[in-house]
Amino acid sequence: MKILILVHAQYITVGLQKVIEFAESLVELGHGVTLCATSKTSRWHISQHKTNGVNIIEFPSILIGRFRHGIDPLDVACRIMFLRNRKFDVIHCMTSRPTVYFPGIYLKKKHKAILIYEWEDSFGDGGVALERGGRLYNYLFGWIEKYFEESILKYADGVIVVSEFLRQRAVKLGTKKEKILKQIKGTKFTKNYLPDKLAARKQILSEADCGKIIFTYIGSIYKSDLSFLLKTFNRVCKMHQNIKLHLVGSNKRGPDNLPKNVSIIPRVPYEEFLKYVAATDVFLLPLKCSVANISRYPSKFGDYLAAGKPVISTPLPEIEYIIKTANCGYISVDDSVEAYQEAFLRAIDDREGWDLMGGNGTKYVQEHLSYNYISDRIVSFYKQIALSQQ
């Protein structure tokens, strides 16, 4: 198959790495894959290069900063003009913004290709637009985000969703159940990448912290979730002094009075990042059960499990199912500070079970979150949809 993957992200940003891993796995299955993204710097020129068999095309944007993510009309026009005479069997749209929406629909109609829409989170209806932009942004622009993420369903031949919330929303909007595949994100990460735990601790921690229980959250975090985490951790600290929290790669500065046992570590080189992962005892998913969080699947969760460490999470449906099925972590009964604190305390009291839970998580990743498994399912879905169109 010739597969075109359209994304609105800049090449290369953190979130795009999972898409690249997926594209590379399709190449390993013998498919021709082209990935279209937005250049991080270019304002006028289109560039092409090939990485691990994936043909990557970077399109220019005259906008700057966060506005380069999916709304630039020049980016839209360049994609349509550049791709208009190239034929693909599958057009895989990752989320739906103008730079994905318009080229995807145009190419579907011109070349009779099947259009697959991968719905990764809910921007409108109190979702990401509210969490990231605040109430004013949500009021002014949330309806636009909602239009694009829902309107593409009318043109999509098949829909891939990462959560039951989005599956139900797609059905409510008229998508037939047989045209929906629920599939969470995979991971390429393995604990074989990690350095020795004790050696890593000696390199990145103070002598006083080396013997502490290290809890870690990786990546960006919504302001409400960060506040929730810090409130919970402060309460746990009053009962257990020998603990420390790392926020690794966080885009949040945190409050000015950040406790001394909480460290915000900005994005660091990959080798340094692996040391923080190795030094961790337990990973955290302190995500409030908001529309933004329930609708998405935090792909870092798969990396957490692959690293062989248990996880403490709030009861997000997809995460709760995996943790209970695989016995690989701790789930709070709800998303209150009191409930998440109780899950923390259970984890601290259960130190003898961490190795078993970490092993269970690694096994689950191998069986259900490897790209060999996931990409094969998605290709089968492509073929099922294509057959239904004949």
SS3 46: coil
224 and 132 co-located in one domain: no
Provide, rounded to the nearest whole percent, the portion of the chain with pLDDT above 70: 95
- Pair 178, 324 in one domain: no
- Name 112's Cβ contacts closer than 8 Å, sequence gap at least 6: none
Q: What is the pLDDT of residue 233?
A: 96
Whose structure tokens read 């993957």?
5
Same domain, 158 and 203: no
What digits encode the pLDDT tens for the residues 285-324? 999 999 989 999 999 999 999 999 999 999 999 999 999 9
Tally of structural domains, the chain: 2
Taking only the tens place, the pLDDT of each residue in 226-260 is 999 999 999 999 999 899 999 998 755 666 677 78
Compute the mean pLDDT over every residue in the chain, rounded to the nearest whole number: 93
Decide: residue 342, CB within 10 A, 0-12 exposed, 13-18 middle, 19+ buried: middle
pLDDT for residue 69: 83
Is 5's pLDDT higher than 80? yes
pLDDT in the model for residue 123: 75
Alpha carbons 163 and 331: distance in angstroms, whole number: 18
230 plus 359 within the same structural domain: yes
Task: Write the pLDDT tens digit of every residue in 22-74.
Answer: 999 999 999 999 999 999 999 999 999 999 999 999 999 999 877 788 999 99
- In this structure, the answer to whether residues 67 and 131 fall within a common structural domain is yes
User: What's the whole-model pTM score?
Assistant: 0.94
| DSSP string across 53-112 | TEEEEEE--SS-GGGGTT--HHHHHHHHHHHTT---SEEEEES--HHHHHHHHHHHHHH-
Q: Is the pLDDT of residue 372 over 70?
A: yes
Q: What is the pLDDT of residue 388?
A: 92
- Give me the percent of the chain exceeding a pLDDT of 90: 83
My answer on whether 114 and 25 are in the same domain is yes
* H/E stretch holding 5: strand 2-11
- At 125 the pLDDT is 72
Angle among Cα 223, 227, 230 to the nearest 5 degrees reads 135
- The verdict on 383 and 290 lying in the same domain is no
141 pLDDT above the threshold of 90: no
- Closest residue by Cα to residue 319 from 338, 303, 334, 297: 297
Q: Give the per-residue pLDDT at 278.
A: 97
Q: Domain holding 125: CATH number?
A: 3.40.50.2000
Same domain, 176 and 85: yes
160 and 242 together in one domain: no
The boundaries of the domain holding residue 318 are 191-369
pLDDT in tens, 213-225: 999 999 989 889 9
Average pLDDT of span 267-276:
92
**Domain co-membership, 267 together with 179:** no
Q: Do 224 and 138 lie in a common domain?
A: no
Same domain, 332 and 196: yes
Band of residue 389 on the pLDDT scale cut at 50, 70, 90:
confident
